[in-house]
Amino acid sequence: MKIGVIGGGQLGRMLALAGTPLGMNFAFLDPAPDACAQALGEHIRADYGDLDHLRQLADEVDLVTFEFESVPAETVAFLSQFVPVYPSAEALRIARDRWFEKSLFKDLGIPTPDFADIQSQADLDAAVASIGLPAVMKTRTLGYDGKGQKVLRKAADVTGAFAELGSVPCLLEGFVPFSGEVSLIAVRARDGETRFYPLVHNTHVNGVLNLSIASTQHPLQKLAEDYVGRVLKALDYVGVLAFEFFEVDGGLKANEIAPRVHNSGHWTIEGAECSQFENHLRAVAGLPLGSTRLLSPVVMLNLLGDMWPAEITLPDWAPLFEDGEAFLHLYGKRRAIGRRKMGHANFLGATTEDCLKRAEAMKAKWLANGRSGS
């Protein structure tokens, strides 16, 4: 079976790493000459709106999936004429636009911050008057890793904020005084069978995911499954979906969904019986789903560009290999610019505390040698 993937970054690469042993082949459509998935399959180097190359992809593969959600709706509609596409065009339409996404949560009775659609500075002024400050303003589309958003704390922050975010359609959200951020990775098969991984606690640094901490018995697991299950069913979803929540007052408020495999699910490669990548492929290919059971407490640490001593040079991984229960995943990106995601490491162990301690110690060591410490 040949799978077409829109996007050729690390998520596409890890899909191929999971699917190759299952006898699958891959073609990635990505305009970047150095798309890091190209080592694992065919690279069709073209823009996402290039109909000739989209047609070529559709002709070559059995089905198409995505590694990011900001794909133009027309691209999905075009491909869907020739080849099955999972998740569906409708799921992507909702997930790529924060207004549609939050409106769906509201319709399904899933708690979410107060929100308002902003098409002008006047809309923003009116929304601030009703939602209040502090609040968070986000572009409706194309935002990721904290980009395309601004926290409004005082009246002066509101002045000119619409222009500051590029005068594009935005959403204003009430600020959630959360005690933690968690995500639930779920997978739904073509026949509707649904499985959930254990709820994961996530920490961020400057809007970029830093650590994901997975352990069983989270008290909010069932509640999260209920909310995520509603969305999966409403969208007749096929594949892996990641759902991010704020933990607040002992409950959950929905933040956002990603219609794809997700950074906060990378721990599943060694930490779960069947990884998010394999389960996504099983779902879209119409195969039975794999077990989402946690094998051991596990912590995932993102390896960002600032941990690299200099561009191209690699940090010294020896301490990680000496650890024995730590697993390195590098994405094959050649340039470590800023806080770019270069790889991740999964730390397994007897207790969550032990995994966390080792991950934090390793990170401190790399940062001390990296550019931020030099």
Select the residue interacting with ligand AMP from 69, 173, 306, 323 (CB under 6 A).
173
Is residue 202 a contact partner of residue 182, using CB atoms and an 8 Å limit? Answer: yes
Cβ-proximal residue to ligand AMP, closest one: 176
User: Total binding residues for ligand AMP by CB under 6 A?
Assistant: 13
Select the residue interacting with ligand AMP from 84, 113, 290, 343 (CB under 6 A).
113
Rounded least distance, CB 97 to ligand AMP, Å: 13
Select the residue interacting with ligand AMP from 132, 160, 166, 207 (CB under 6 A).
207
Residue 180 binds ligand AMP (CB under 6 A): no
Sign of CA dihedral 365, 366, 372, 374: positive
**Angle, helices 10-19/276-284, rounded to nearest 10 degrees:** 70
Burial class for 81, CB neighbours closer than 10 Å (0-12, 13-18, 19+): exposed
- Cα 244 from chain centre: 9
Task: Give the strand pairing for 149-152 and 194-196.
Answer: unpaired
Rounded least distance, CB 50 to ligand AMP, Å: 28
Name the residue nearer to ligand AMP (CB basis): 146 or 160.
146
Q: Which stretch binds ligand AMP (CB under 6 A): 9-17, 61-69, 170-178, 327-335?
A: 170-178
Select the residue interacting with ligand AMP from 30, 69, 101, 256 (CB under 6 A).
256
Residue whose pair of structure tokens reads 């390793």 in the numeric block: 362
Select the residue interacting with ligand AMP from 136, 220, 234, 287 (CB under 6 A).
136
Name the residue nearer to ligand AMP (CB basis): 171 or 269.
171
Both structure tokens of 245? 């929540």
Residue 97 binds ligand AMP (CB under 6 A): no
Separation of alpha carbons 75 and 212, rounded Å: 32
Select the residue interacting with ligand AMP from 72, 146, 192, 338 (CB under 6 A).
146
Three-class secondary structure assignment of 182-203 = EEEEEEECCCCCEEECCCEEEE
Is residue 302 a contact partner of residue 203, using CB atoms and an 8 Å limit? Answer: no
Rounded least distance, CB 174 to ligand AMP, Å: 6
Name the residue nearer to ligand AMP (CB basis): 32 or 136.
136
User: Among residues 37, 66, 40, which one has the least CA distance to residue 54?
Assistant: 66
Separation of alpha carbons 85 and 92, rounded Å: 11
Separation of alpha carbons 238 and 246, rounded Å: 25
Residue 172 binds ligand AMP (CB under 6 A): no
Residue 270 binds ligand AMP (CB under 6 A): no
Residue 143 binds ligand AMP (CB under 6 A): yes
Q: Which stretch binds ligand AMP (CB under 6 A): 20-28, 39-47, 174-182, 350-358?
A: 174-182
Residue 259 binds ligand AMP (CB under 6 A): no
Rounded least distance, CB 205 to ligand AMP, Å: 10
The HSE-up count of residue 48 (CA atoms within 13 Å, CB side) is 16
Select the residue interacting with ligand AMP from 100, 175, 317, 331 (CB under 6 A).
175
Select the residue interacting with ligand AMP from 47, 192, 204, 291 (CB under 6 A).
204
Both structure tokens of 62? 């059995």
Separation of alpha carbons 299 and 349, rounded Å: 9
Return the amino acid letter for 93.
R
Name the residue nearer to ligand AMP (CB basis): 134 or 309.
134
User: Among residues 168, 163, 158, which one has the least CA distance to residue 125?
Assistant: 158
Binding residues (CB under 6 A) for ligand AMP: these are 113, 136, 143, 146, 173, 175-176, 181, 204, 207, 244, 255-256
